[in-house]
Structure 1
Amino acid sequence: MRHVSCAVVSLLLTLLVPATVVAKGPADAYYGRGTTNVVWFLHISDLHIGSSQVEDPKQLATPHFEFALQQAIPVIDPSFVLASGDLCDGSQGVLPTVGQQQDEWDAYKGLYTKAGMKADFYFDLPGNHDAYGESNGLPHFLNNALQGQANGKPYVSWSVKVPDGEMLFFGLNSAGTGASPLSNPPGNFTDDELDYVEQTMAAHAGAQLVIMAGHHPLQGATNQDRVEKAFQAAKGGFYLHGHRHDYTEYLGGGDTIVVNEVGSLGKSDTDNVGVAVIDHNALVYRATSTSKPWPFVTITAPVSAKLRQGADNPYAYAVCKDRKDNPVRALVFSDKKVSSVTAQIGAGPVATMKSSAPDSPVYEAEVDTSALAAGNHDVTVTAKVGSEQATQTLSAKFVAGPCEALPVDPDPPSADGGAGAAGASGSGGSSGDGGIAGSAGASGKAGGGGAGTGGKAGSAGAAGKAGAGATTQADPQAPEDDGGCSCTTAPASGPGTAAWAAIFAALALRSRRARRTRAAR
C-alpha cells in the first residue's frame, strides 16, 4: 500500500477537499448525504481505580476499565477516547477522599499501558478524587496519567478535521490545584488553563465546533463564567462531564451549551460507556452499558428535536418532508456480525439500511417521507444480531417543501492515497512543538510520521473508519517523545515554502483522481 506523507494528506483534507457547506458553530448543523463528515469518539468517566471493598463490594472498577480498553474500543473504533476524571479513587484503600495512594495510580497506569494507549488517542483528565490530599498542583496526576506525563499540564487541546472543517476539543482540569481530604469541593477551572483556552481558540478562530470536557459540571464551578464566555465566542457548543455518576443531557450557559454526563464506569453497570457522534456538525450522544453493551444503536441523522431529558434541542435542524429519498444514518456496534438494520419514519415504509463501507458501523438508508404531514415524527432504527436486537426511536421535525438539493459529502480518501490526516503541531506555544499524529480515515492506515518541531519521529496512528481522518493536536507544552507522528503543519499566519510545496504535491495527487459532480444545497 502506498502512503502519502502526513503533511500532504492534511492539506488534502483541509485545503483541497471541497466542503459543500461552510459551518461555524453548532447552529450550523445541517442535513446532508454521505459519511465523510461523520466522526465519533468514546467517553468514559469516574473510573475510581482502587476503590475499597467497603465502598465498592462488587469491585467493578478494574474489570469495567478493562472492558472499555479491551472490548469497547475495538468494537466502537473511535477516533479517540476521553476519560473525564476520577481516574483513581483517592481512598488509600479504606475511605474515599482521604488522599492519593501510589498503588492506585500504579494500577491505573498499568491498565492503560497494557492496553497500548497513546497520548494522541487517550485523553485522561483529573477529577476531585485525583486531587484529594494535593495542595500545590496535581503531582500524582502529572506523574502517572497519560496526558499528565505527555504534556506536563492537567489540561490539553486537540482537533479533528473533516472535509467541512476543524472541530476543536479541550480537556479541562476542573479539580483546581488540589482538594482537602474528606471534602467535596465544586469544580475549579484555573485561570492559567482558561488563558490557554482563549489563546487556543483565537489561534483556531475558523473551527466549526468547540467541544469541551471536564470532570465537574459547569454550574457552580469557579470560573464558570469564563468557560461560558469561551463557548459564547464559539456561538455555543458542547460540554461533557462526569462526577455525579448520572446519565443526563441538559442545557447550560443560557441554553447555548448542550451538556452530556455519562454514568460512572467504575461504580455502575449501566449507561457508563458514552459514544458521541458528530454528523454534519450535529453532536449526538448516547451511552451503552458494561452489563449489556451490544448491539448498540445511535441514530445520527436526522437529528432529534429533543434532548434526552425532554428539553428542546437548540441545534436541531428541520427536514424537508417532500422527498422520496431522505437519508437516515445510524451507527450500529456489535461484537458479532450484524444480521440486519432497518429504518422507519412515522408510519411509513420500513427501509433496509446498508453499511456505508465494508466493516463500517455507519448504516444508511433513503426513506420516502413525501406522504408525511408537516410536524414531528418518530424515526426508528432497529438492528438485529442473531436473536438479539436493539432499537432507538427519536422525534425529528419535518417541514413542507419545496425541498432544496441536499449537500453531498466528498468521497472518502482511497485506500492507496493514505487516509490518515497529519498531526498538527501544538498551537499557542512559542515554538509550536509536540504535535502528534491523527488516526487513519477510511480504508487506510496512518503512515509513520517524520519528526516534527521538537518531536521525535513517531509510529503509525490509530486505525480509522469510513469517514474523515482525525487530526489530533497536542498541548503545546508536550515533551519530545509523544509516542506518535509529529508531523508539522503550516503556521497560522500562512503557508511557508515547505507548505506550498506540499500544496502543489497534493494538487498533483488530486488531479489524478476524478470526482463525480455532486449537487449542493
Structure 2
Amino acid sequence: MFRVFSLLLAAGLLLACLTAYVLENYTVQPALSRRPHPRDGQPPYPGRGMDNLFWFLQVSDLHISRFVDPRRTPDFKTFCTETIDVIKPAIVFVTGDLTDAKTKNRIGSVQHEIEWQTYHTILKQSRVLEKTKWIDIKGNHDAFNIKSLDSINNYYRKYSAHRQDGSFHYLHQTHFGNYSFICVDATLSPGPKRPLNFFGVLQQNKMGELSKLASETVNSNHTIWLGHYTTSTIISASPGIQQLMSSAIAYLCGHLHTLGGLMPVLHSRNTEGTLELELGDWMDNRKYRLLAFDHDLFSFVDLSLNKWPAVLITNPKSALYRSPGHEPLRKIKYSTHIRVLVFSPSQVTSVQISIDGISIGSAVHIEGPFFSIAWKPEDYTEGIHYIEVRAEDTTGRTTVKGHDFAVEEIKLLPFDLVASFILLTRHYLMAKVVFILVFLANICLIIAVRFQRNPQLKESPGIFTLTLFSFHVLCKTNVFYYPVLLFTCYVAVGPWFVGEVIDGHFGACFVFGVVVDGHFLEGSLTFIFGIFQLTFFNIPLMGYLSWCLLLRCRGACFWTHYKYTGWLRTVPMHIFILALFLWQLYSCYILLLTYGYAAFFLSPVRTWSVLLALVLVYRAWALDNSSIRTFKAEMKNCPYS
C-alpha cells in the first residue's frame, strides 16, 4: 500500500507541476491581445516604394570542426561570400557554437586553436566584415574546458569578430528609427568540459547588467534579444530571463539543433508576448534565417544554403507571429501594397501572388530585391486568409512561400504544444523536482518497509504480495539494507566523481552542482543524470536483489533457480539486468574519456557502484541461510507452486 501511495503522491505532484506550466504558458492574457502599439494606425503605411524597410540575417551553431564533415567549412565560406553578396543584409548575427571544440572521439572537450583560426580566416578572406555588420555570440561549445575568461584558451577573444566577453547592446540606426539588439552571454565561467555546461547561467550580477541594457532600449522602435541558449536552458536569477526581455518583440537563439531533426520548427511565444525563435543548426542542416522590419512589422523566414530564390513576405505579415503591443499591426489594414523581398544570384523573372487560391497578379520590381503589388485590405477584413508567393529566376529555379494573415485584430494563434513545452519550460527546475520525487519515493519506501510488518502469505499469494514480501526480505536483511539505503542517499548528497572538470583543474561533481577552482556551478543536467541513475540502476538493482532473495527463500541457488521460475522468466530477467549493468559500465567508460583516469577511479556513483552491484548480487546468491531463516520458514508454510 505504501508503494501505491508513493506513486499516487508522485503522480499528483507531477500533475500539479504540469497544470501550473500549462496555466503559465498557454493561457493567453486578454491584455496581451488588446493592448495597442503606441504607433498603431499612424502613418507612414506600407506602400509601393522600398521605404521604412531593412533586413538582416541570423545563423547559428556553425560547429567548425577539424575532424568531421569536411564540407562544413567551405559551405560556410560560400555563405560568407555568395549568400551575403546576394542578400546584402544590414547585420549578420551568429548565435553561438562557432567551433566544435570536441576531441577526435567526439566525447572529450578541448579548444582547438585551428578551428578558431579557420573561422577567422573565412571572415578575413571573404571580407564579410567589410560588407556588413557581423556580430558573433559565444555558445556553450565556445566555452568548453576554459578555466577563466583570461585563459589563453579563450580563443573567442582572439578570433571572433566581437572579441569581448559578456552581454552587450548593439544599436542599429536608420533614418526611420533606431533598432536595439541585446546579445546575451549565458556561458559558464569557468567553463567545464561537456556535457556539464549544456545549460547556461545568468547570475544576479549578469541579470543586473541585462536589466541596465534593457533600459537603454526605451527609445528604440523595436528591441530584439539574441543568445545561444533557449530560455528553457538558462538558469536565471529572479525575475527570470523571459520577464526581463518582455519589451522585446523576439528572442533569437539556437542550441537545440531542432532536436536532431525531431522538431524542425521550434518557435513559440512566452507569457510576456515575446516570440522565442530557435534556429536550426548550420552544422548538419545548413540553415540560416532572413529577418526584416517593414514599417516596424516584424517578419522572418528560415532558409537553407543555396536554395534560391529566397522569399520573404513583409506585408501582410504572418498571423501566427503577430505581436500586439510590440508592433503596429493596424498598418496592415491601412497599407496599399503587398510587399515581398525576393533574393537570387540570377535575375528574378516572375513573382506571382495569390490570396486564398485566387491570383492577384504579378508583383512589380521596384528596386533591389523589393517587389510590390497594389491590394485592397478591406476585401480581407474578416477572419484569416492565406497569401502565397511564387518566385522564379532566369535559371528556372522556383520557390513557393505562403502564410496565413489577418487584417483585423484576431485572437493570437497557438504554437505547437510540444515546441512550446521545449522552449518555455524551465527544464532544470522540472528535472530537479522529478529527481527529488524519485529520490524521496525510493528512500521513504525502503525505510517504511524496514519498519512494517511482513505481509501475510496466504495460500497462492498474488504477484503483488510476493513482490512486497521480497522487498521486505531485502529491507530487513542488514547486509543489503544498509548498502542500498546509503548508496541511494549518496547519489543525492555525495560527490559523484572527483576529477579534471577542466584540464589541469580538479573539481567535484554533485547532483546539485559542480565545484571547481573555487567556483560553484549550479546543477542542471546533473539532475537528469541523477534521474537516470536512480531509475535505470539503483531501483532495478533493488528489484533484482529482491527477486534473487525471494528465490533463495524458496530454497533455490543460482544454479537451480530457473527450475522455480522457468526459462521464459529467468532469461529475460537476466538479460534486462545485464543490459542495465552494461549501460552503467558504458557510463564509466564515457566518464573516463571525458574527465580522465582520476574521475574514473574516484567515482562512487559510477565506477564504485559497479563493484558494489557485483558484491551485492554475489551476496544475494551466496547468503548464509541463517540470515533469511524466518523468511524461508514463512515461504515453506505457504506453498504456491
TM interval, short-chain normalised = 0.5 to 0.7
How far residue 91 of structure 1 moved from its aligned partner, in angstroms, is: 1.0
How far residue 238 of structure 1 moved from its aligned partner, in angstroms, is: 0.8
What SS is found at the alignment partner of 2:63? coil
Please say if 1:71 is aligned against 2:86: no
Instruction: Please tell me whether the aligned partners of residues 365 and 372 of structure 2 are also in contact (alpha carbons under 8 angstroms).
Output: yes
Counterpart amino acid of 1:392? Answer: K
Please say if 1:47 is aligned against 2:55: no
**Residue aligning to 1:160:** 172
What SS is found at the alignment partner of 1:183? coil
**Residue aligning to 2:509:** none
Change (3 A) 1:48 1:392: same
More deviation, 204-213/93-102: 93-102
Please say if 1:90 is aligned against 2:101: yes
- Deviation string 1:207-228 (CA, Å, 9 cap, x unpaired) is 1211011111011412274432
Change (3 A) 1:109 1:93: farther
Distance 2:110 2:382 in 1: 58
Change (3 A) 1:399 1:254: closer
Instruction: Tell me which of 237, 254, 266 is aligned to 2:249.
Output: 237
**Residue aligning to 2:223:** 210
Distance 1:100 1:154 in 2: 19
Change (3 A) 1:319 1:346: farther
Distance 1:27 1:253 in 2: 25
How far residue 252 of structure 1 moved from its aligned partner, in angstroms, is: 4.1
More deviation, 156-165/103-112: 156-165
Change (3 A) 1:196 1:25: farther
Instruction: Please tell me whether the aligned partners of residues 310 and 342 of structure 2 are also in contact (alpha carbons under 8 angstroms).
Output: yes
Instruction: Please tell me whether the aligned partners of residues 381 and 406 of structure 2 are also in contact (alpha carbons under 8 angstroms).
Output: no
Counterpart amino acid of 2:85? Answer: P
Counterpart amino acid of 2:404? Answer: S
Counterpart amino acid of 2:223? Answer: V
Distance 1:238 1:260 in 2: 7
Instruction: Please tell me whether the aligned partners of residues 40 and 331 of structure 2 are also in contact (alpha carbons under 8 angstroms).
Output: no
Instruction: Please tell me whether the aligned partners of residues 389 and 401 of structure 2 are also in contact (alpha carbons under 8 angstroms).
Output: yes
**Residue aligning to 1:9:** none
Instruction: Tell me which of 254, 257, 281 is aligned to 2:274.
Output: 257
Please say if 1:227 is aligned against 2:241: yes
Please say if 1:294 is aligned against 2:308: yes
Distance 1:370 1:123 in 2: 41
Structure with the largest fraction of helix: 2
Instruction: Tell me which of 337, 340, 344 is aligned to 2:350.
Output: 340
Instruction: Please tell me whether the aligned partners of residues 337 and 372 of structure 2 are also in contact (alpha carbons under 8 angstroms).
Output: yes
**Residue aligning to 1:448:** none
Change (3 A) 1:320 1:193: closer
Distance 1:95 1:136 in 2: 23
What SS is found at the alignment partner of 1:228? helix
Distance 2:167 2:123 in 1: 18
- Deviation string 1:145-204 (CA, Å, 9 cap, x unpaired) is 1111xxx32433211233442110022212132432231521223555443332233234
Distance 2:41 2:144 in 1: 39
More deviation, 103-112/156-165: 156-165
What SS is found at the alignment partner of 1:174? coil
**Residue aligning to 2:541:** none
Change (3 A) 1:65 1:320: closer
Please say if 1:267 is aligned against 2:275: no
Higher relative contact order (CA 8 A, sep 6+): 1
Instruction: Please tell me whether the aligned partners of residues 134 and 179 of structure 1 are also in contact (alpha carbons under 8 angstroms).
Output: yes
Please say if 1:104 is aligned against 2:115: yes
**Residue aligning to 2:192:** 180
**Residue aligning to 1:131:** 143
Instruction: Please tell me whether the aligned partners of residues 329 and 365 of structure 1 are also in contact (alpha carbons under 8 angstroms).
Output: yes
How far residue 328 of structure 1 moved from its aligned partner, in angstroms, is: 0.6
Instruction: Tell me which of 122, 147, 161 is aligned to 2:162.
Output: 147
Distance 1:363 1:71 in 2: 22
How far residue 37 of structure 1 moved from its aligned partner, in angstroms, is: 1.6
Instruction: Please tell me whether the aligned partners of residues 37 and 328 of structure 2 are also in contact (alpha carbons under 8 angstroms).
Output: no
Instruction: Please tell me whether the aligned partners of residues 353 and 363 of structure 1 are also in contact (alpha carbons under 8 angstroms).
Output: yes
- Deviation string 1:11-56 (CA, Å, 9 cap, x unpaired) is xxxxxxxxxxx96699999963243221111111111111523xxx
Instruction: Please tell me whether the aligned partners of residues 97 and 129 of structure 1 are also in contact (alpha carbons under 8 angstroms).
Output: no
What SS is found at the alignment partner of 1:74? helix
Change (3 A) 1:175 1:382: same
How far residue 83 of structure 1 moved from its aligned partner, in angstroms, is: 0.5
Query: 5+ unaligned residues in a row in structure 2: which ranges?
Result: 1-35, 259-263, 410-641
- Deviation string 1:364-417 (CA, Å, 9 cap, x unpaired) is 1112455557221111111111322111111111349xxxxxxxxxxxxxxxxx
Distance 1:102 1:25 in 2: 49
Distance 2:215 2:333 in 1: 41
Change (3 A) 1:172 1:294: same
Distance 2:108 2:293 in 1: 36
What SS is found at the alignment partner of 2:251? strand
What SS is found at the alignment partner of 1:124? strand
How far residue 133 of structure 1 moved from its aligned partner, in angstroms, is: 0.3
Alignment of 1:312-351 (within 5 A): 326-351=336-361
Distance 1:220 1:31 in 2: 39
- Deviation string 1:222-265 (CA, Å, 9 cap, x unpaired) is 22744323322x2x421111111125352343151111122111
**Residue aligning to 1:391:** 400
Distance 1:347 1:326 in 2: 20
Instruction: Please tell me whether the aligned partners of residues 344 and 380 of structure 1 are also in contact (alpha carbons under 8 angstroms).
Output: yes
Distance 2:282 2:298 in 1: 22
Change (3 A) 1:45 1:322: closer
Change (3 A) 1:134 1:320: closer
Specify the structure having the higher radius of gyration (Cα): 2
Instruction: Please tell me whether the aligned partners of residues 249 and 258 of structure 1 are also in contact (alpha carbons under 8 angstroms).
Output: no
Instruction: Please tell me whether the aligned partners of residues 38 and 328 of structure 2 are also in contact (alpha carbons under 8 angstroms).
Output: no
**Residue aligning to 1:447:** none
Instruction: Tell me which of 365, 374, 382 is aligned to 1:374.
Output: 382
Alignment of 1:463-474 (within 5 A): none
Alignment of 1:466-505 (within 5 A): none
Distance 1:63 1:118 in 2: 18
**Residue aligning to 1:201:** 214
Query: 5+ unaligned residues in a row in structure 1: which ranges?
Result: 1-21, 401-521
Aligned residues between the structures: 360
Distance 1:339 1:195 in 2: 52
Q: Give me the TM-score of the superposition, normalised by structure 1.
A: 0.63
Instruction: Please tell me whether the aligned partners of residues 24 and 207 of structure 1 are also in contact (alpha carbons under 8 angstroms).
Output: no
Instruction: Please tell me whether the aligned partners of residues 345 and 369 of structure 1 are also in contact (alpha carbons under 8 angstroms).
Output: no
What SS is found at the alignment partner of 1:71? helix
Please say if 1:32 is aligned against 2:18: no
Distance 2:398 2:356 in 1: 20
Q: Note the aligned Cα RMSD (angstroms).
A: 3.1
Distance 2:274 2:42 in 1: 14
Distance 2:46 2:62 in 1: 37
How far residue 65 of structure 1 moved from its aligned partner, in angstroms, is: 1.2
Change (3 A) 1:50 1:223: same
Please say if 1:279 is aligned against 2:294: yes
Distance 1:289 1:82 in 2: 16
Change (3 A) 1:278 1:318: closer
